[in-house]
Amino acid sequence: LPGCLVLSGGDPVSEEFSASLAQALRAPKASVHRKVFPDGESYVRLPEDATGSSRVCVVKSLAPPQDKSLVELLLILDALKEKGVSRVEAIVPYLAYSRQDREFLANEAVSVRAVLRAIRHAGAESLYTVEIHKEESLSFFEGRAVSVSPYEAMAEAIEVPDGDTVVIAPDRGALGRAVRLARALGLPYDYLVKHRDRVTGEVFFEPKSLNVRGYNVIIVDDIISTGGTVAKASSILLSQGARSVTVVVAHALLVGDAWRKLVSAGVRRVYAANTVAPASGNPKIIDVAPAVASALGATA
Ligand code: R5P
Protein backbone atom coordinates (compact mmCIF):
# COMPACT_ATOMS: atom_id res chain seq x y z
CA LEU A 1 0.00 0.00 0.00
CA PRO A 2 1.40 3.42 -0.87
CA GLY A 3 3.25 4.94 2.07
CA CYS A 4 1.82 2.46 4.57
CA LEU A 5 3.64 1.41 7.71
CA VAL A 6 2.27 -1.70 9.47
CA LEU A 7 2.45 -0.97 13.19
CA SER A 8 2.11 -3.94 15.51
CA GLY A 9 0.39 -3.45 18.85
CA GLY A 10 3.25 -5.44 20.38
CA ASP A 11 1.45 -8.45 21.90
CA PRO A 12 2.32 -11.89 20.45
CA VAL A 13 -0.88 -12.30 18.39
CA SER A 14 -0.61 -8.82 16.86
CA GLU A 15 3.12 -9.34 16.22
CA GLU A 16 2.56 -12.48 14.17
CA PHE A 17 -0.45 -11.13 12.36
CA SER A 18 1.29 -7.87 11.46
CA ALA A 19 4.41 -9.67 10.24
CA SER A 20 2.31 -11.66 7.79
CA LEU A 21 0.25 -8.59 6.83
CA ALA A 22 3.37 -6.51 6.17
CA GLN A 23 4.79 -9.28 4.03
CA ALA A 24 1.59 -9.58 2.01
CA LEU A 25 1.41 -5.80 1.56
CA ARG A 26 5.16 -5.49 0.94
CA ALA A 27 5.11 -2.76 3.56
CA PRO A 28 7.57 -1.96 6.34
CA LYS A 29 6.68 -3.07 9.86
CA ALA A 30 7.39 -1.61 13.28
CA SER A 31 6.15 -2.36 16.79
CA VAL A 32 5.00 -0.23 19.67
CA HIS A 33 6.79 -0.56 22.97
CA ARG A 34 4.37 -1.54 25.73
CA LYS A 35 4.59 -2.11 29.42
CA VAL A 36 2.34 -2.28 32.46
CA PHE A 37 2.83 0.02 35.44
CA PRO A 38 2.94 -1.58 38.92
CA ASP A 39 -0.67 -0.54 39.55
CA GLY A 40 -1.86 -2.26 36.37
CA GLU A 41 -2.13 0.74 34.06
CA SER A 42 -1.03 0.31 30.44
CA TYR A 43 1.73 2.28 28.74
CA VAL A 44 2.65 2.44 25.06
CA ARG A 45 5.34 4.31 23.19
CA LEU A 46 5.42 4.71 19.41
CA PRO A 47 8.54 3.82 17.43
CA GLU A 48 10.11 6.71 15.52
CA ASP A 49 9.19 5.26 12.12
CA ALA A 50 5.52 5.63 13.03
CA THR A 51 5.67 9.30 13.91
CA GLY A 52 7.23 10.13 10.54
CA SER A 53 4.70 8.18 8.45
CA SER A 54 1.76 9.58 6.54
CA ARG A 55 -0.21 6.35 6.67
CA VAL A 56 -0.17 3.79 9.47
CA CYS A 57 -2.04 0.48 9.67
CA VAL A 58 -2.22 -0.35 13.37
CA VAL A 59 -2.60 -4.08 14.01
CA LYS A 60 -4.05 -4.84 17.42
CA SER A 61 -6.14 -7.88 18.22
CA LEU A 62 -8.59 -7.38 21.08
CA ALA A 63 -7.70 -10.89 22.22
CA PRO A 64 -7.76 -11.63 25.96
CA PRO A 65 -7.11 -9.72 28.12
CA GLN A 66 -9.68 -7.83 26.06
CA ASP A 67 -9.92 -4.70 28.20
CA LYS A 68 -6.15 -4.21 28.29
CA SER A 69 -5.90 -4.83 24.54
CA LEU A 70 -8.60 -2.24 23.92
CA VAL A 71 -6.96 0.38 26.13
CA GLU A 72 -3.62 -0.22 24.41
CA LEU A 73 -5.25 0.21 21.00
CA LEU A 74 -6.87 3.48 22.09
CA LEU A 75 -3.55 4.75 23.46
CA ILE A 76 -1.77 3.91 20.20
CA LEU A 77 -4.45 5.60 18.07
CA ASP A 78 -4.48 8.71 20.23
CA ALA A 79 -0.69 8.98 20.16
CA LEU A 80 -0.64 8.67 16.36
CA LYS A 81 -3.32 11.36 16.04
CA GLU A 82 -1.33 13.70 18.28
CA LYS A 83 1.76 13.12 16.13
CA GLY A 84 -0.15 14.29 13.08
CA VAL A 85 -0.23 10.98 11.16
CA SER A 86 -2.81 11.86 8.56
CA ARG A 87 -4.18 8.40 7.75
CA VAL A 88 -4.59 5.82 10.47
CA GLU A 89 -6.28 2.48 9.87
CA ALA A 90 -7.14 0.07 12.66
CA ILE A 91 -6.65 -3.60 11.80
CA VAL A 92 -8.33 -5.51 14.61
CA PRO A 93 -8.14 -9.23 13.80
CA TYR A 94 -10.43 -10.10 16.73
CA LEU A 95 -12.99 -7.49 17.73
CA ALA A 96 -13.89 -8.38 21.31
CA TYR A 97 -17.34 -7.39 22.59
CA SER A 98 -18.92 -7.98 19.19
CA ARG A 99 -21.46 -10.48 20.57
CA GLN A 100 -23.12 -7.88 22.81
CA ASP A 101 -24.59 -6.11 19.79
CA ARG A 102 -27.98 -5.15 21.20
CA GLU A 103 -29.99 -4.94 24.41
CA PHE A 104 -30.90 -8.59 24.95
CA LEU A 105 -32.22 -7.62 28.40
CA ALA A 106 -33.52 -4.10 29.05
CA ASN A 107 -30.91 -1.42 29.80
CA GLU A 108 -27.88 -3.50 28.87
CA ALA A 109 -24.92 -1.67 27.35
CA VAL A 110 -24.52 -2.31 23.62
CA SER A 111 -20.83 -3.10 24.04
CA VAL A 112 -19.85 -3.36 20.39
CA ARG A 113 -21.21 0.15 19.78
CA ALA A 114 -19.17 1.60 22.65
CA VAL A 115 -16.02 -0.17 21.43
CA LEU A 116 -16.42 0.90 17.80
CA ARG A 117 -17.17 4.50 18.78
CA ALA A 118 -14.13 4.59 21.02
CA ILE A 119 -11.84 3.27 18.25
CA ARG A 120 -13.20 5.85 15.82
CA HIS A 121 -12.92 8.76 18.24
CA ALA A 122 -9.41 7.79 19.27
CA GLY A 123 -8.35 8.41 15.68
CA ALA A 124 -8.97 5.43 13.38
CA GLU A 125 -10.20 6.59 10.00
CA SER A 126 -11.14 3.06 8.97
CA LEU A 127 -11.43 -0.33 10.59
CA TYR A 128 -10.72 -3.82 9.29
CA THR A 129 -11.58 -6.84 11.34
CA VAL A 130 -11.93 -10.57 10.74
CA GLU A 131 -15.38 -12.13 10.93
CA ILE A 132 -17.27 -9.78 13.23
CA HIS A 133 -20.10 -11.55 15.02
CA LYS A 134 -22.73 -9.61 13.03
CA GLU A 135 -21.91 -7.53 9.95
CA GLU A 136 -24.64 -4.99 10.85
CA SER A 137 -22.62 -3.89 13.89
CA LEU A 138 -20.11 -2.24 11.55
CA SER A 139 -22.60 0.60 11.08
CA PHE A 140 -21.72 1.77 14.62
CA PHE A 141 -18.31 2.82 13.22
CA GLU A 142 -18.59 6.20 11.50
CA GLY A 143 -16.09 5.52 8.73
CA ARG A 144 -15.09 2.68 6.44
CA ALA A 145 -15.51 -0.58 8.33
CA VAL A 146 -14.86 -3.98 6.78
CA SER A 147 -15.26 -7.49 8.18
CA VAL A 148 -13.05 -9.87 6.23
CA SER A 149 -14.30 -13.42 5.77
CA PRO A 150 -11.59 -15.91 6.77
CA TYR A 151 -13.33 -19.01 5.44
CA GLU A 152 -12.18 -18.84 1.81
CA ALA A 153 -8.53 -18.68 2.96
CA MET A 154 -9.16 -21.36 5.58
CA ALA A 155 -10.79 -23.65 3.00
CA GLU A 156 -7.45 -23.86 1.19
CA ALA A 157 -5.73 -25.23 4.30
CA ILE A 158 -8.42 -27.62 5.51
CA GLU A 159 -8.06 -31.35 5.00
CA VAL A 160 -11.56 -32.40 4.00
CA PRO A 161 -12.29 -35.95 5.22
CA ASP A 162 -12.79 -38.65 2.60
CA GLY A 163 -16.42 -39.50 1.84
CA ASP A 164 -19.66 -37.54 1.93
CA THR A 165 -19.17 -34.33 3.85
CA VAL A 166 -21.53 -31.51 4.86
CA VAL A 167 -20.92 -28.11 6.45
CA ILE A 168 -23.22 -27.34 9.41
CA ALA A 169 -23.78 -24.04 11.22
CA PRO A 170 -24.62 -24.47 14.93
CA ASP A 171 -27.33 -21.81 14.67
CA ARG A 172 -29.18 -19.75 12.12
CA GLY A 173 -26.95 -16.75 12.79
CA ALA A 174 -23.97 -18.73 11.55
CA LEU A 175 -25.67 -19.93 8.37
CA GLY A 176 -23.90 -17.29 6.25
CA ARG A 177 -20.60 -18.68 7.55
CA ALA A 178 -21.59 -22.20 6.55
CA VAL A 179 -22.58 -20.97 3.09
CA ARG A 180 -19.21 -19.26 2.55
CA LEU A 181 -17.18 -22.22 3.75
CA ALA A 182 -19.34 -24.74 1.90
CA ARG A 183 -19.08 -22.80 -1.37
CA ALA A 184 -15.31 -22.53 -1.01
CA LEU A 185 -15.09 -26.29 -0.41
CA GLY A 186 -17.77 -27.26 -2.94
CA LEU A 187 -19.88 -28.98 -0.26
CA PRO A 188 -23.56 -28.89 0.81
CA TYR A 189 -24.58 -27.06 4.02
CA ASP A 190 -27.31 -26.92 6.65
CA TYR A 191 -27.84 -25.50 10.16
CA LEU A 192 -29.03 -26.39 13.65
CA VAL A 193 -31.39 -24.28 15.75
CA LYS A 194 -29.78 -22.99 18.96
CA HIS A 195 -31.13 -20.88 21.80
CA ARG A 196 -29.26 -19.28 24.66
CA ASP A 197 -30.64 -18.48 28.10
CA ARG A 198 -29.77 -14.79 28.39
CA VAL A 199 -29.43 -14.94 32.17
CA THR A 200 -27.48 -18.18 32.71
CA GLY A 201 -25.77 -18.19 29.30
CA GLU A 202 -26.67 -21.86 28.83
CA VAL A 203 -27.25 -23.05 25.26
CA PHE A 204 -29.80 -25.62 24.13
CA PHE A 205 -30.75 -26.92 20.71
CA GLU A 206 -34.24 -27.36 19.29
CA PRO A 207 -34.87 -30.86 18.00
CA LYS A 208 -34.04 -30.80 14.29
CA SER A 209 -33.23 -33.88 12.34
CA LEU A 210 -30.60 -33.37 9.67
CA ASN A 211 -29.61 -35.93 7.12
CA VAL A 212 -26.09 -36.49 8.45
CA ARG A 213 -26.12 -40.29 8.78
CA GLY A 214 -22.85 -41.54 7.32
CA TYR A 215 -21.63 -37.99 6.61
CA ASN A 216 -18.51 -36.29 7.85
CA VAL A 217 -19.60 -32.98 9.34
CA ILE A 218 -17.68 -29.71 9.36
CA ILE A 219 -19.15 -27.39 12.01
CA VAL A 220 -18.37 -23.73 11.36
CA ASP A 221 -18.75 -20.84 13.80
CA ASP A 222 -17.25 -17.40 14.45
CA ILE A 223 -16.14 -17.94 18.05
CA ILE A 224 -15.46 -20.81 20.40
CA SER A 225 -15.43 -19.40 23.91
CA THR A 226 -16.44 -22.00 26.51
CA GLY A 227 -16.91 -24.65 23.83
CA GLY A 228 -20.51 -25.25 24.93
CA THR A 229 -22.08 -24.51 21.54
CA VAL A 230 -19.76 -26.61 19.41
CA ALA A 231 -19.56 -29.48 21.91
CA LYS A 232 -23.35 -29.78 22.11
CA ALA A 233 -23.71 -29.47 18.34
CA SER A 234 -21.08 -32.19 17.86
CA SER A 235 -22.77 -34.57 20.31
CA ILE A 236 -26.13 -34.07 18.59
CA LEU A 237 -24.74 -34.64 15.11
CA LEU A 238 -22.79 -37.74 16.14
CA SER A 239 -25.92 -39.10 17.86
CA GLN A 240 -27.75 -38.57 14.56
CA GLY A 241 -25.26 -40.84 12.82
CA ALA A 242 -22.54 -38.46 11.61
CA ARG A 243 -19.27 -40.27 10.85
CA SER A 244 -16.91 -37.58 12.11
CA VAL A 245 -16.91 -33.97 13.26
CA THR A 246 -14.32 -31.36 12.27
CA VAL A 247 -14.62 -27.76 13.45
CA VAL A 248 -13.68 -24.58 11.60
CA VAL A 249 -13.78 -21.39 13.67
CA ALA A 250 -12.54 -17.87 13.17
CA HIS A 251 -11.69 -17.03 16.79
CA ALA A 252 -10.67 -19.95 19.02
CA LEU A 253 -10.66 -18.42 22.49
CA LEU A 254 -11.10 -21.89 24.04
CA VAL A 255 -11.40 -20.63 27.61
CA GLY A 256 -11.42 -22.86 30.71
CA ASP A 257 -12.01 -26.51 29.88
CA ALA A 258 -13.32 -25.76 26.37
CA TRP A 259 -10.82 -28.06 24.64
CA ARG A 260 -11.63 -30.98 26.93
CA LYS A 261 -15.35 -30.45 26.19
CA LEU A 262 -14.73 -30.59 22.45
CA VAL A 263 -12.64 -33.73 22.73
CA SER A 264 -15.26 -35.41 24.96
CA ALA A 265 -17.96 -34.47 22.48
CA GLY A 266 -16.11 -36.38 19.74
CA VAL A 267 -14.62 -33.47 17.77
CA ARG A 268 -11.82 -34.89 15.67
CA ARG A 269 -9.97 -31.72 14.62
CA VAL A 270 -10.28 -27.94 15.05
CA TYR A 271 -9.06 -25.32 12.57
CA ALA A 272 -8.82 -21.70 13.73
CA ALA A 273 -7.67 -18.40 12.26
CA ASN A 274 -4.65 -16.60 13.76
CA THR A 275 -6.69 -13.82 15.39
CA VAL A 276 -6.34 -14.84 19.06
CA ALA A 277 -4.13 -17.15 21.12
CA PRO A 278 -6.23 -20.15 22.24
CA ALA A 279 -6.26 -20.48 26.05
CA SER A 280 -6.43 -24.28 25.81
CA GLY A 281 -5.96 -27.11 23.34
CA ASN A 282 -4.25 -27.48 20.08
CA PRO A 283 -6.24 -26.22 17.10
CA LYS A 284 -4.54 -26.04 13.73
CA ILE A 285 -3.92 -22.32 13.17
CA ILE A 286 -4.41 -20.83 9.70
CA ASP A 287 -2.92 -17.47 8.73
CA VAL A 288 -5.67 -15.16 7.42
CA ALA A 289 -3.60 -11.96 7.35
CA PRO A 290 -3.18 -12.24 3.54
CA ALA A 291 -6.99 -12.08 3.22
CA VAL A 292 -6.99 -8.85 5.24
CA ALA A 293 -4.15 -7.54 3.05
CA SER A 294 -6.29 -8.20 -0.05
CA ALA A 295 -9.22 -6.32 1.50
CA LEU A 296 -6.95 -3.40 2.37
CA GLY A 297 -5.44 -3.41 -1.10
CA ALA A 298 -8.85 -3.53 -2.73
CA THR A 299 -10.00 -0.40 -0.89
CA ALA A 300 -6.68 1.47 -0.99
C1 R5P B 1 -22.82 -17.01 19.48
O2 R5P B 1 -23.84 -16.74 18.85
C3 R5P B 1 -21.51 -17.23 18.81
O4 R5P B 1 -21.65 -17.25 17.43
C5 R5P B 1 -20.83 -18.50 19.29
O6 R5P B 1 -21.63 -19.62 18.91
C7 R5P B 1 -20.69 -18.51 20.78
O8 R5P B 1 -20.17 -17.29 21.22
C9 R5P B 1 -19.79 -19.62 21.24
O10 R5P B 1 -19.64 -19.54 22.63
P11 R5P B 1 -19.41 -20.84 23.50
O12 R5P B 1 -18.21 -21.53 22.93
O13 R5P B 1 -19.19 -20.33 24.89
O14 R5P B 1 -20.65 -21.67 23.37
Compute, in angstroms, the gap from residue 292 CA to the centroid of ligand 1. Answer: 23
CA-proximal residue: ligand 1, atom 10 (nearest):
225
Q: How would you label 199-236 residue by residue, b for 16+ Cβ within 10 Å and e otherwise?
A: eeeebebeeeebebeebbbbbbbbbbbbbbbbbbbbbb
Identify the burial level of 110 via C-beta atoms within 10 angstroms of its C-beta, where 0-12 means exposed, 13-18 middle and 19 or more buried. middle
Section 168-177 average pLDDT: 95
pLDDT in tens, 59-70: 999 999 999 999
pLDDT category of residue 299 using cuts at 50, 70 and 90: low
Give the pLDDT confidence score for residue 300 in this predicted structure. Answer: 54
Section 40-49 average pLDDT: 96
Task: Tell me the best of 223, 235, 261, 280 to mutate to test the pocket of ligand 1, counting ligand atoms within 8 Å of each CB and taking the most.
Answer: 223
Phi, psi angle pair for 229, to nearest 5°: -60, -55
Give the pLDDT confidence score for residue 63 in this predicted structure. Answer: 97
Q: Is the CB of 150 under 6 A from ligand 1?
A: no
Task: Tell me the best of 224, 254, 261 to mutate to test the pocket of ligand 1, counting ligand atoms within 8 Å of each CB and taking the most.
Answer: 224
Q: Cα torsion for 271, 274, 276, 279, to the nearest 10°?
A: 50
Q: What is the mean pLDDT of the chain?
A: 96
Task: Tell me the best of 171, 221, 236, 251 to mutate to test the pocket of ligand 1, counting ligand atoms within 8 Å of each CB and taking the most.
Answer: 221
Q: Is the CB of 42 under 6 A from ligand 1?
A: no
Section 213-226 average pLDDT: 98
Q: Cα torsion for 162, 166, 171, 173, to the nearest 10°?
A: 110
Compute, in angstroms, the gap from residue 273 CA to the centroid of ligand 1. Answer: 16
pLDDT in tens, 185-198: 999 999 999 888 88
Share of the chain above pLDDT 70, in %: 99
Compute, in angstroms, the gap from residue 224 CA to the centroid of ligand 1. Answer: 6
Q: Is the CB of 176 under 6 A from ligand 1?
A: no
Q: Is the CB of 223 under 6 A from ligand 1?
A: yes
Closest-lying ligand 1 atom to the alpha carbon of residue 229: 14
pLDDT in tens, 226-265: 999 999 999 999 999 999 999 999 999 999 999 999 999 9
pLDDT category of residue 52 using cuts at 50, 70 and 90: confident
Catalytic center residues: 194
